């Protein structure tokens, strides 16, 4: 009901607004609009480009990264010294050493996304003359290739990049530190079991069984993870990730009998090829972009 003293003009000014949009609601409406605009301006959350392998194992926290890298440096120095004494260490001007270091220079800049510590690593790449079909990267960025893997498999640059990416991935994902952490956890458990059970047959059996398991190399899950991260590292560096498939076709063909050292704990060639094929769509765009740049 309109008050008796209300004039027609005042009623018209008041009734120009629909009920929900009367002047007293305008501050609330403005705040709502600002909020909506602000939310629309926020960057969209997207899945990362490349492969997805999850977080590092919690077992890595049981062992100091600094200590692992210091130990790796000592063992690496000893290896190089021995190779030098045997005249098996490739000189800096060796064509294969030049080749390996050039490939590494393209891959290393993409390492820090997987492990921030890599920015402080003193990366090294060396070649050892040996028939071993083998390569590795120690914690701290110490890379070694044996001539056997290059010569016997006649690796292309793309395939070398897949091998190198795989080995670098082990270091970045701290698989050695994880293995040492698991060993430490087993030793802690063994000590507790020894105190609880004494040195009897049951205690010794449990302790021995745990130690045997922890003495194995990288797990198959670690190897698959290194394959995928290695593919991505190589792709970002401009190397064709499909070379990972041709690499393992060569490995399978060359090793129809007992696997070489590099394959000792790895999944079968057909299994890892299938896993790589499933992830090609994630890394091929990275390779194509690197080719255009």
Strand 124-128 to 142-146 pairing: parallel
pLDDT over 50 (residue 206): no
pLDDT over 70 (residue 41): no
pLDDT over 80 (residue 193): no
pLDDT of residue 253: 81
Token pair, residue 218, equals 């990288």
pLDDT of residue 26: 52
**At 266, is the pLDDT very low, low, confident or very high (cuts 50, 70, 90)?**
low
Residue 221, domain member (yes or no): yes
pLDDT of residue 272: 85
pTM: 0.73
Residue 7, domain member (yes or no): no
Residue 189, domain member (yes or no): no
Cβ atoms of residues 138 and 168 within 8 Å: no
pLDDT of residue 137: 94
Residue 285, domain member (yes or no): yes
- DSSP, res 56: P
**At 262, is the pLDDT very low, low, confident or very high (cuts 50, 70, 90)?**
very low
Q: Which residues contact 61 (CB under 8 A, 6 or more apart)?
A: 181
Q: Tell me the average pLDDT across 222-227.
A: 92
Q: Tell me the average pLDDT across 155-176.
A: 95
Across-strand partners of 142?
A: 124, 138
pLDDT over 60 (residue 7): no
Q: Tell me the average pLDDT across 37-51.
A: 58
Query: How many distinct structural domains can be found in the chain?
Result: 1
Host domain of residue 90? 58-178+214-292
Residue 72, domain member (yes or no): yes
Residue of 232, 252, 99 whose CA lies nearest to 169 = 232
Residue of 279, 280, 244 whose CA lies nearest to 53 = 279
pLDDT of residue 291: 93
Residue of 75, 98, 250 whose CA lies nearest to 162 = 250
Residue 233, domain member (yes or no): yes
* 89 three-state secondary structure: strand
Q: Which of 159, 167, 225, 232 is catalytic?
A: 167
Phi/psi of residue 21, nearest 5 degrees:
-120, 25
**At 182, is the pLDDT very low, low, confident or very high (cuts 50, 70, 90)?**
confident
Residue 11, domain member (yes or no): no
**At 293, is the pLDDT very low, low, confident or very high (cuts 50, 70, 90)?**
confident
pLDDT digit string, tens, across residues 136-156: 999 999 999 999 999 999 999
pLDDT over 60 (residue 188): no
pLDDT over 50 (residue 99): yes
Residue 264, domain member (yes or no): yes
pLDDT of residue 107: 98
pLDDT over 70 (residue 106): yes
> Known catalytic residue: 67?
no
* 65 three-state secondary structure: helix
- More confident position, 54 or 88: 88
pLDDT over 60 (residue 16): no
Token pair, residue 4, equals 């008796």
């Amino acid at each position: 009901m309109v008050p008796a003293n209300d004039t027609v003009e005042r009623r018209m000014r008041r009734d120009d607004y629909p009920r929900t949009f009367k002047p007293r609601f305008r501050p609330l409406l403005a705040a709502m609009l600002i909020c909506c605009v602000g939310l629309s301006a926020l960057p969209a959350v997207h899945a990362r480009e490349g492969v997805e392998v999850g977080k590092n194992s919690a077992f890595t926290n049981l062992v100091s990264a600094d200590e692992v890298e210091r130990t790796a440096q000592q063992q690496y120095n000893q290896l190089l010294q021995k190779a030098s004494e045997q005249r098996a260490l490739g000189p800096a001007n060796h064509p294969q050493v030049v080749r390996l270091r050039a490939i590494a220079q393209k891959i290393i800049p993409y390492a820090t996304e997987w492990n921030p510590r890599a920015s402080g690593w003193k990366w090294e790449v060396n070649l050892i003359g040996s028939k071993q079909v083998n390569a590795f990267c120690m914690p701290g960025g110490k890379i070694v290739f044996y001539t056997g893997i290059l010569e016997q498999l006649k690796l292309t640059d793309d395939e070398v990049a897949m091998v190198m990416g795989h080995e670098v991935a082990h270091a970045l994902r701290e698989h050695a530190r994880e293995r040492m952490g698991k060993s430490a956890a087993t030793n802690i458990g063994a000590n507790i079991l020894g105190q609880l059970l004494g040195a009897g047959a049951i205690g010794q059996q449990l302790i021995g069984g745990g130690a045997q398991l922890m003495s194995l190399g990288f797990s198959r899950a670690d190897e698959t993870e290194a394959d995928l991260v290695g593919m991505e590292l190589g792709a970002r560096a401009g190397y064709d990730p499909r070379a990972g498939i041709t690499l393992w076709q060569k490995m399978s063909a060359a090793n129809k009998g007992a696997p070489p050292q590099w394959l000792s704990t790895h999944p079968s060639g057909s299994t890892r090829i299938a896993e790589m094929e499933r992830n090609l769509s994630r890394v091929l765009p990275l390779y194509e972009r690197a080719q255009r740049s």
